[in-house]
Amino acid sequence: MILKDHLRKEGKVSKEDYPITIVGDIHGQYYDLLKLLEVGGDPGKTQFLFLGDYVDRGSFSIEVLLLLYALKINYPDRIWLIRGNHECRQMTAFFNFRDECEYKYDIVVYYAFMESFDTIPLSAVINGKFLGVHGGLSPDLILLNQISSFTRFQEPPRSGIFCDILWSDPIDEDKEEHAIHNEAYFPNDIRGCSYFFGYNAATTFLEKNGLLSIIRAHEAQLEGYKIHQTNIKTGFPVVITIFSAPNYCDVYNNKGAVLKFDNNTLNIQQFSFSPHPYHLPNFMNLFTCLLNRGLD
């Protein structure tokens, strides 16, 4: 109840100042979250903005949420959470978070987490210059205050601004691609929903809203981050992707990274994965696992 009260009061666009550490996808990698907090700074002295996708795929999503929620309650003016596309009923039932809740606790705990997800803000503005979202932009999103025009206290819809800021991806067109598409947005056929948005879409949105760059998560990166195309007017990247789950799913062998702002200086700090206890796939028990292997 205390947590939901904190999150409900924050509105859909929260505003944070420097210094701040910005964190991308975590995906249930609790032991990497502990390392991330060592790298990112003391939560009692440094603000943290988490860009969503706290759950699924990893085996310790509950532990991730309990730690983040405890930090939010203890440091309500320093810990900021926004919602990712996995913070919903559809994705957590399809992937493994619902199974994790039922395995470790029960379905009541799962439903309580779902209710908490419905209160998480959708975006953040950092120092009046940077927009933090999980996914990206929407063709329907012209002005930032439009995010305040709909209710977030619900399961994300399958289309519209709410959907797109959780699901969309930037695309780095070269000149030939841009000539072919010649559009700011086009359907995201890789994800099967939402859109790709290009350089023109990003620069137009940033200029209309007096912003410098979009900082987002949502896509695994080998180095833990990606600096997208540079704005020819400002000399600053129009989009920065940050991904904070090293060795993603125990197979990608990627680095994790966080983005740190302090005194108008941007630094990206990388970190490697941390060892973690082993769980059988889908939280299968040992007896069932051995039985299945015996039947093969």
Residues designated catalytic: 86
> Between 2-9 and 61-74, two packed helices, what is the crossing angle to 10 degrees?
70
Helix ranges, the chain (H): 2-9, 30-40, 61-74, 89-94, 97-104, 107-117, 161-167, 175-181, 199-208, 286-295
Q: How many distinct helices (H) and strands (E) make up the chain?
A: 10, 14
Per DSSP, the three-state class of 181 is helix
Helix ranges, 188-256 (H): 199-208
Q: Characterize the bridge pairing of strands 225-227 and 239-242.
A: antiparallel
Instruction: Judge whether 37 and 26 are in contact, CB under 8 Å.
Output: no
The token duo for 221 is: 């990166």
